[in-house]
Structure 1
C-alpha cells in the first residue's frame, strides 16, 4: 500500500499515467514531482523510490512515450497497401497529436536537463516527433514500393513535412482541436501530388 492508502499495482505505469494527465490538463510547466504524485494519489516518496530523481522519471516517461509512437508506427507500416494513403496518414497523425505527444514535445523543449539526458540515446531530433517522422517515412516508402505513391515521392522529405503540418494544427492544446476534415485537407495537400 502507498502511504496514502492507495494500492499501487504497477507504480511506474500509474505515475506515467498521472504525468500524462497533468501534462494534458495543465501543461509542461505544471509538471512537478508533487503534481505527479498528487495526481497518482500517492506520497511523493513513492516516485523517488522508483526513480533516481525527477529528471530521471521524466526521461523514462519520454522514453516510454517514444516506445508507444514506435508501436503505432509499426502498425502503420503493417497496414501499407490497405485503406487510402491519405486516410492512413491522417489517422496516424490524429492519434499521435491527440495523445500526449504535443505536451511531451513542450516538456522536452522546456527542460534543459531532460533534453541533455535524452541526447545520450537520441542525439538528433525532438523525441516523439523524430520517431513519428521515421515511422511515416518508412510507411510512405512502403506505399511507394507498392506503387501507391509515385516513384519519385521522397518519403524522407514528406514525413517531416507532415509532422510539422500536423504539429501546427494541434499545437494549441487549450483551444479546439482541428476537425478531421482539416487534418485530412492538410495531409492531402502534402501527399496528394505524389499519389499514384
Structure 2
C-alpha cells in the first residue's frame, strides 16, 4: 500500500523538503529518511529519482547554485546605476539568504558531497566560489565604467567580500545581520577603490 501523498514535481518537492530540514535541524540531520518524512512520501520516491542520497544532495546544491545565475546577471546589470557600495550590499544580503548559508554548511560537512561537486566547482567552496565570481564580474563591469579604480584587483576584492559577508551570516542560531552591518563591511573592503 502506498504511503504519503502524490508528488507532482517530486524532484523539486524533495529539494524543498531537504532545505526545510537543513534550515530547521542543520546538516547532520539531513538524511534520506528525514527528507522523505518532511516531503510526506515513501522512501522509495527519493531513490526512484536519484541514484543515491549523495547524488540527491549533489543535485540539490547544483540546482541552488544554478539559481545564482539570475542573481549574478542582475548584479552585473546594475553596474553604472545606484552606488557601488549599495549595489554590493544589496547583492550580499540577497545572496546570503538562509538557504545559501545552510548549503555552505552542508557542503563543508560532507566529504563525499564535496568530491561529487568538484566537477562543477573544481576549487574553492561550492556556492561561495560562484558568489565570488558574480561579485568579481560586477566589480569588473564597474571598473570598466570608471566607478571602480582601474587598478582595482577585483579577483582579490570579490572573495574578500564573500568571505567577510559569510562570516556575518554564518550563525545559524542568531538573526541575520542588518543592512548597515553588511554595508559597513562592504565599505571597509572597497573604500580604497570606489570612485
TM-score category (smaller protein): over 0.9
Q: Secondary structure at the match of 2:191?
A: helix
Q: Report deviation, 1:120.
A: 2.5
Q: Secondary structure at the match of 1:138?
A: helix
Does the alignment pair 1:12 with 2:8? Answer: no
1:125-182 CA distances to partner (integer Å, 9 max, x unpaired)?
A: 1111000000100000000101111111111111000000000000101112111110
Q: Which residue of 1 aligns with 2:83?
A: 84
**1:99/1:73 CA distance change after superposition, 3 Å:** farther
Q: Report deviation, 1:5.
A: 4.4
Where in structure 2 are the equivalents of 1:72-111 lying within 5 Å? 72-111=71-110
Q: Secondary structure at the match of 1:52?
A: coil
- Unaligned regions of 5+ residues in structure 1, if any? none
- Unaligned regions of 5+ residues in structure 2, if any? none
CA distance in 2, matches of 1:192, 1:9: 50
CA distance in 1, matches of 2:78, 2:6: 39
Q: Secondary structure at the match of 1:93?
A: helix
| RMSD (Å), alpha carbons | 1.3
Does the alignment pair 1:35 with 2:34? Answer: yes
Does the alignment pair 1:161 with 2:157? Answer: no
Q: Which residue of 2 aligns with 1:123?
A: 122
Q: Is the 8 A contact 2:121 2:129 kept in 1?
A: no
Q: Is the 8 A contact 2:14 2:36 kept in 1?
A: yes
Q: Is the 8 A contact 2:54 2:112 kept in 1?
A: yes
**Stretch of structure 1 that moved more, 97-106 or 131-140:** 97-106
Q: Secondary structure at the match of 1:193?
A: coil
TM-score, with normalisation over the residues of structure 1? 0.95
**1:125/1:101 CA distance change after superposition, 3 Å:** same
CA distance in 2, matches of 1:64, 1:77: 21
CA distance in 2, matches of 1:143, 1:171: 28
Q: Which residue of 2 aligns with 1:146?
A: 145
Corresponding residue pairs, total: 195
